[in-house]
Structure 1
Amino acid sequence: MKNLNLLINKLYSKNHNEAYKTFLFLENESLKSNITYCFFDSFLEMIDNENSYIRTRGLLLISANAQWDIDNKIEINIDSILSHIVDKKPSVSRMFIKSIPNITKYKENLINRIKMELSNADISIYNNNMKPLVEKDINDTLSNIS
């Protein structure tokens, strides 16, 4: 567990390469077992971080842990989580939107709510280069969770 604590702390590293490699390892482990679920609250804290990389890591680790969420932490925090469909950084939104099918795969009770949030997402905050990309991600995700 001590090693996992160290890895969770590395998600905040200023060395983006180290933080990204740590994230990939933890995401992979999260998809295979519940070993990181005990850090779910840490992942929730990450999604409110000013740093867009940290927000993205938190959101994707939440998605990767959906199957282990026996405490319904996703349901309890759904408003905060889904607010990142339209994050201030379009890169965060895009990565999160693409991860949503992993949540709905294990949280079927949230499908209608998530579809509604995706369908009603106001992407007008994004510049004209990003809008079509985010819109495509939303449409692809909607078709993957139907």
Structure 2
Amino acid sequence: MIYSDLIEKIADKNVNVNEFAKAVLHDESTRVEVIKQLLTNNNIMVYYHCYYIISRASEEKPELFYEYWNDFVYLLDHKNSYHRDIGLTIIGNLTKIDENNLFSSIFPKYIEHFNDDKFMTAQCFVKNLKNVVRYKNEYIEQIIKLLVDVEKICIYPKKQKELLKSDIIEVLDAVYENTTNKDVIVDFIRSQSTSESPKTKKKVKQFLKKHGL
């Protein structure tokens, strides 16, 4: 595929993400080019669609993207919050195959995004923690401590903070059976039963019912 044609197709608002994800997985030259566009193209329709494609592909075969680890780490400090989202998501996917334990050196930087300048990036961070706790059990207790301290750490307006707690509850639910700090989790979640966020209150009810509390 001629790369100018590839970029044009990726930029299309109706881009077929699944089709491109398959191409990225099965053709190295396409994979290299899509990653290049993800990292360097300034057109949001290009780099953000590349994000969808690489995110999908790296969920299926993260080992194909491990060599680009440092490139994705670089995005965590990007001035554009969309690029920080990209770094958070793809690194989260790559924790599954992090055989060299590269995540250990960036953990402090990664969790800084719990209080990112952009609220949506903080949401992205929390959602991607589900992969981190699934594949990096050694961080479970630290992550629990971080999340239940949301009121002190995050500076967002109350309405946003209450919404963020719905995502936090999902992560705490994911680690609940693998922690000795169940009481800490339950106390935090019970305290959200009067949240002004309907989504968060719903998550509280679901968690308590699931675990017979």
TM-score (norm: length of structure 2): 0.64
Count of aligned positions: 146
Partner residue of 1:95?
A: 124
The within-5 A match list for 1:98-109 is: 98-109=127-138
Render the CA deviation track for 1:86-142: whole Å, top value 9, x for unaligned. Answer: 211110010120111111111111111111121223354212331211122222221
Aligned to 2:100: 71
1:11-50 to 2 correspondences below 5 Å:
11-12=38-39, 13-33=41-61, 34-50=63-79
C-alpha offsets along residues 4-50 of structure 1, whole Å, 9 cap, x if unaligned? Answer: 34322322432222212211111122112110111011111100001
Quote the Cα distance in structure 2 between the aligned partners of 1:7 and 1:63. 19
Q: Is the 8 A contact 1:86 1:123 kept in 2?
A: yes
Report sequence identity in percent: 25
What runs of 5+ residues in structure 2 fail to find an aligned partner?
A: 1-27, 177-213
Alpha-carbon contact 2:114-2:154 (below 8 Å) kept: no
Query: Quick check: 1:141 aligned with 2:171?
Result: yes
Normalising by structure 1, what TM-score?
0.90
* Alpha-carbon shift at residue 79 of structure 1 (Å): 0.3
Structure 1 residues 129, 108: CA separation in 2 closer, same or farther (over 3 Å shift)?
same
Determine helix, strand or coil for the equivalent of 2:130.
helix
Equivalent-residue separation in structure 2 for 1:124 and 1:87 (angstroms)? 8
Equivalent runs, 1:107-146 vs 2, <5 Å: 107-121=136-150, 122=152, 124-146=154-176
Please identify the structure whose Cα radius of gyration is greater.
2
Distance 1:47 1:41 in 2: 10
Query: 1:52·1:92 contact (CA, 8 Å) conserved in 2?
Result: yes
8 A Cα contact 1:63 1:103, kept in partner: yes
Calculate the aligned-residue CA RMSD, in Å: 1.7
Higher RCO by CA contacts (8 Å cutoff, separation 6 or greater): 1
Residue by residue over 1:33-81, the C-alpha shift from the partner in whole angstroms, topping out at 9 and shown as x without a partner, is 1101110111111000010000000000000111111111111210001
The runs of at least 4 aligned residues of structure 1 exceeding 4 Å deviation read none
Q: Answer with 61-70 or 9-18: which moved more.
A: 9-18
Contact 1:63 1:100 in 2 (8 A): yes
Which whole-Å CA distance do the structure 1 matches of 2:127 and 2:37 have between them?
A: 24
Deviation at 1:83, TM superposition (A): 0.9
Q: How far apart, in 1, do the equivalents of 2:49 and 2:70 lie?
A: 21
Q: Alignment partner of 1:130: what SS? A: helix
Contact 1:30 1:37 in 2 (8 A): no
